[in-house]
């Protein structure tokens, strides 16, 4: 099962390809790998709501449908609610399955309980896709930034060391909180930057699991 984040922040891409492009490639790679093993594959698209659920099926025709949806589906909303997506997954699928949660994990909500329950019922694997520019502000003076999920903009002075340090601290604490949640839920995690080779990260993840 592929659980794919389609929130507004997926469209960002400064240091490599856009996050959505890499998420799509990763999901497509996993889908084709599943069909090689004659496994059923399904997709759950989410933002701050469930955008679309395609139940698991076998067959090349079904895989091509999933790939087409991955490439072209446009969500109605732009927020992020991982908690809701995992709760839906747990209730929608009765049989145990391997589930890949593909997201940038930019979510202010608490999804620990939902992730713990989902991983207890299924075999949950988290794949974070991020852009290195998100992790650190450049020193380029005044810059207008857009919150892609809320649709709001603001001006910030990136020449200010305090501003850059505050942003670095926010990113580090958010990243640590995400990693801590995933670790406490006993979920395997791979973090991939948009300018990196995701195949190496996936191979490393599977080697660690195997």
| Residue-range domain boundaries for the chain | 2-135+178-209
Backbone angles phi, psi at 98, to 5 degrees: -80, 125
Backbone angles phi, psi at 138, to 5 degrees: -80, 155
pLDDT at position 12 over 50: no
pLDDT of residue 148: 61
CATH assignment, 2-135+178-209: 3.40.50.410
As a whole number of angstroms, the distance between CA 8 and CA 109 comes to 16
SS3 102: strand
- Which tens digits make up the pLDDT trace of 27-74? 999 998 888 888 999 999 999 999 999 999 998 899 889 989 988 999
Please state the pTM of the whole predicted model. 0.89
pLDDT at position 13 over 50: no
- What pairing do the DSSP bridges indicate for beta strands 123-130 and 188-193? parallel
- Cα 113 to Cα 83, 84, 102, 148, 179: the distances in Å are 8, 11, 18, 27, 15
C-alpha closest to that of 135 among 96, 100, 106, 102 = 106
């Amino acid at each position: 099962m592929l659980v794919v984040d389609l929130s507004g922040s997926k469209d960002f891409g400064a240091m490599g390809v856009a996050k959505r492009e890499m998420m799509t490639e990763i999901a497509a790679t996993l889908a084709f790998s599943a069909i090689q093993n004659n496994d059923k594959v399904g997709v759950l698209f989410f933002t701050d709501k469930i955008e679309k659920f395609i139940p698991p099926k076998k067959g090349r025709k079904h895989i091509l449908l999933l790939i087409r949806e991955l490439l072209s589906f446009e969500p109605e909303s732009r927020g992020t609610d991982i908690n809701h997506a995992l709760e839906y997954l747990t209730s929608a699928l009765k049989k145990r399955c391997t589930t890949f949660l593909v997201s940038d994990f930019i979510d202010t909500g608490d999804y620990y309980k939902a992730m713990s329950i989902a991983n207890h019922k299924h075999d949950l694997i988290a794949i974070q896709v991020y852009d290195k520019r998100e992790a650190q502000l450049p020193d380029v003076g005044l810059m207008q930034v857009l919150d892609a999920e809320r649709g709001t903009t603001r001006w910030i002075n990136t020449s200010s060391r305090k501003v850059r340090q505050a942003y670095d601290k926010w990113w580090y604490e958010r990243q640590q909180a995400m990693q801590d949640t995933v670790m406490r839920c006993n979920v395997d995690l791979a973090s991939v930057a948009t300018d990196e080779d995701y195949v190496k990260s996936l191979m490393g993840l599977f080697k660690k699991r195997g």
